[in-house]
Every structure is written in C-alpha cells, then in structure tokens.
Structure 1
Amino acid sequence: GLSLTGCAVQENLRSGTDDPCTSMKNIVADYPNGFAEFRRSGTNFKSVTIYRAREELIKGHCEVWAWGNGDSAYVCTVGAPNPEVAESRYEQAVEQVAGCLGQQWVPEERVRERNGAAAGMATVFRQQGERSPSVSVHRVEDRSRQSVYLYIGSPGRKL
C-alpha cells in the first residue's frame, strides 16, 4: 500500500484504507463529480473550501480542496525531516501510484521551479480523455522545508 515510510525515527505513514489501490481508482473515478463522495466536514477560506477526506490514501494527511470555479482536487501532503527521506518517500509514492494506475497512465517527470530555481521534482501521470484528472506526486523543497504530496485533480492547475 501507500506506506511511504522513512527511517525508524520517522513518523510511520500508513494508508487509511484497507485497499489503497482500489481507493485511489475510486477517487480518480469521482473526479468529474468534484470528489463529492470523498468529502467530509469542510472549512471555508477566501478562495477555497478544504474538506477532510473520507478515504485517506495516507492516514491523517489527505483533504479535498474545492475552489470557487467548481475545480477540485484530492490532495495528501506529508512533511519530511530531510532531503533523503523526502526523496525516498517521493520515489516510493511514484512507484506505488504507477503500480495502482497501470499501463494506460503515462508518467512524465519534471523539475519543479520557483523563481527560476529548481525547487524539487514532480511526476505527473496522464491518461487520454478529458474527464480524466491528472495524478501527480511532488517532492517540494521550500527553503529548508521538505514535503511530498500526492495530487489528483485538474491537469491545468499550477501547484
């Protein structure tokens, strides 16, 4: 499953669902409905409402984001104490997502940029068909902070 574990001192990440692959497929399939089936209680912010996720691919770390224009995304975010742990979590997540989604999804790895400087990596999986979301795994370096996140949502949204 999407265990994404680091070293022993690490917070052990586990899936909040018995069958993460099936959950991921169901989440992807619910994209045209704005992940309505996966929304629990929500908090309103100015431009976005953030809902707790009903099925969490990474226990305690997933939310559904809904913007004012009807666009929404299923997002799981996990911090990492150092670049090595971030890298290993990122690689494991990419491998597991690829395994779940299967052959019809094509991965493309790209360098994330901020202000023209490299700021991590992202692997974006796309499938043919306009009702299909983009599924991506990101390793984000923000000054000294490291995080890894899984994004299922609109292909056009810049993260």
Structure 2
Amino acid sequence: MPLTNPCTKLDLLKNAYYDDFKQLKEIKVGGRVSNMWKAKYQLFGENCQVFSWGGKQHSYSCRLVAPNEETAQNYYHNAKKITQQCLGDEWQLEESKRKHDDGMKAVFTNHDAKHSEQVSFSTHLVPTSGLFSTTWTLYYYVGNSSQPSKKAD
C-alpha cells in the first residue's frame, strides 16, 4: 500500500534493507552485473528498482527527472532536509561534489550502527547534457555505502 508520510517511507525502507527489500520486489528484470527488480511501490520519485550486487548486497533506487536546474536544486535540498528530519541526529550528513560530473551528492549514515547494520540514505543531483540542453535528474538510494553503486559517483 503506498505511503504518503516521508518519515514512514524512510522507516519502511530502512527496515526493508535488512530483509533485502523482499517486500518491495515485483518484476525481475535482467542485468549483466546485478539482478534488478521493478519496485512494487514508488516510494520516492519514479522508476524505483531494487538491485542485488553479488547476490548478497541490495539497494533501492529511484530517480526523478526535473524540468530545469532550479527545480532539481529544490528537489535535492528538500530530499536532504526531509531525510535529516526523519532520521534524526544520530545520522551524519556527508555532502560533496560528484566525481564524474558537476552534480552533488548527500549521504546520510549512522556511524554508530554495527557494521552489519550500516545502511545509508543518499540523494544525488545529476546533470545530463544533451545535444540542445542539459536536464537534471535526482537519484535516491538506500543501501550499504560500501557496496558498488551503478550511478552513485
């Protein structure tokens, strides 16, 4: 059942991480490096999927395309603000420029959690240059920050 409260969504995603997002997996789609499933619910953005890396590490990912840079910046700042409010003070924000483009990334991690429970929430603001214009996409990830990420940097 779709949820509307952002904090309830984050809590559901955090709990789902510990169960490999099983309750969010719907249709399996092929992948060369990883297994992918279309997500049952679009908890953030659009086109949400669950990825499995090596069969053991899973992440949940969504993307939202913005009509312009200003809107994308607003999405990014709102995602950071809501995530911080919902997760609380024990979660640390690390924000930096992305390595391979002019975008930004914000990663929330609870460093006090046991290593086996180290889930992170991140949002990435990504510019995509086209022939006639640049579009901006916001990605939202939930998973272990030490796992490989398809578009993370």
* 2:137 counterpart residue number: 147
DSSP-derived class of the 2:44 partner: coil
Is the partner of 2:81 in helix, strand or coil?
Answer: helix
Q: Distance in 2 between matches of 1:107 and 1:101?
A: 11
Aligned to 1:32: 18
How many residue pairs get aligned? The number is: 141
State how 1:3-152 maps to structure 2 within 5 Å: 16-58=2-44, 60-114=46-100, 118-127=101-110, 128-129=112-113, 130=115, 131-143=117-129, 144-152=134-142
Gaps of 5+ in 2: none
Q: TM-score, normalised by structure 1?
A: 0.79
TM-score between both structures, scaled by the size of structure 2: 0.82
State the Cα deviation string for residues 56-89 of structure 1 (Å, max 9, x = none).
2236432211223422111110111221111111
CA distance in 2, matches of 1:97, 1:147: 18
Mark the runs of 5 or more structure 1 residues left unpaired by the alignment: 1-15
- Asked if 1 retains the 8 angstrom alpha-carbon contact of 2:93 and 2:108, the reply is yes
Structure 1 stretches of at least 4 aligned residues deviating more than 4 Å after TM superposition: none
**3-state SS of 2:75 partner:** helix
Sequence identity (%): 27
DSSP 3-state at the match of 1:46: coil
CA contact (8 A) 2:103 2:125 kept: yes
Cα distance in structure 1, aligned partners of 2:90 and 2:41: 24
CA pair 155-59 structure 1, distance change in 2 beyond 3 A: closer
Q: Deviations over 1:21-70 (max 9, x none)?
A: 11211211221321112111111211222212233223643221122342
Q: Supply the distance in 2 between the matched residues of 1:132 and 1:54 (Cα, whole angstroms).
A: 24
SS in 2 for 1:50: strand
| SS of residue paired to 1:155 | coil
**SS at 1:113's partner residue?**
coil
The CA RMSD over aligned residues, in Å, is 1.8
